[in-house]
Amino acid sequence: MNDATDNLRNVRNRIAQAAREAGRPTDSVSLVAVSKTFEATDIRPVLEAGQRIFGENRVQEAQGKWPELRREFPDIELHLIGPLQSNKAKEAVALFDVIETVDREKIAKALADEMRKQERQLPVYVQVNTGLEEQKAGVDPRAAVDFVGRCRHVHGLTVAGLMCIPPFEENPGPHFALLEKLAGEAGVGKLSMGMSGDYETAIAFGATSVRIGSAIFGAR
């Protein structure tokens, strides 16, 4: 039994417990295992333990390990959770199944163009900078509802939901609450929020998926 497999089981139990405490069905929260910086040899035991949804934050890094893992495990669902440059849109659309970090017009257009070219309509999330942090990606919360509308109606993207990364030093609750409110206003159903340190709180605020790295794979 390897550490990551134990950790995975523990995280799954805690997700189920948090869902129950929130009065939600346990299958209403999905787990995105964040494998950035870890190698295929670290990831394989987690796949063997049944995990199928993974998150990576760099296109190039993901290209180096996932094509081979996919040949072994064809039903993998890979999420891009890091910032995307428009010159990487082609590779991103070819490799990933969900893009969680759409946050500007140029990226929305580049992705839409690639999806048409590759005939691969992927669900996307709009990333919202709930803390208005200068260094952080994401749309201004005040522009989020309008931007979701533009992604849908101008670019023809399938916007599944919203994603956020709250400021590191703050209580995340108000940020999760804001994301939930904006999703309601924008008419999208999914909320990608919560990481190793705060996923139970995120579930209490309605997260439909949590992105968990170090609590499964260990410190980076």
Ligand X SMILES: *Cc1c(COP(=O)(O)O)cnc(C)c1O
Q: List contacts with ligand X (CB under 6 A).
A: 34, 36, 57, 81-82, 165, 195-197, 211-215
- Residue with smaller CB distance to ligand X, 86 or 214: 214
**What is the closest distance, in whole angstroms, from the C-beta atom of residue 20 to ligand X in the complex?**
22
Within 10 A of 184 (CB to CB), how many other CB atoms are there?
12
Shortest CB 195 distance to ligand X, Å: 4
Residue whose CB is nearest to ligand X in the complex, by number: 213
Beta carbon of residue 56, minimum distance to ligand X (angstroms, whole number): 9
- For residue 53, give the nearest of 197, 200, 201, 190 by alpha carbon: 190
Measured from the CB of residue 68, what is the shortest distance to ligand X in angstroms? 22
Closest CB to ligand X among 155 and 211? Answer: 211
Tell me whether residue 100 or residue 114 sits nearer to ligand X (CB atom).
Answer: 100
Give the nearest distance from C-beta 104 to ligand X in angstroms. 17
37 vs 63, beta carbon nearer ligand X: 37
**Cβ proximity to ligand X, 11 vs 183, nearer residue:** 11
CB distance 4 to 24 below 8 Å: no
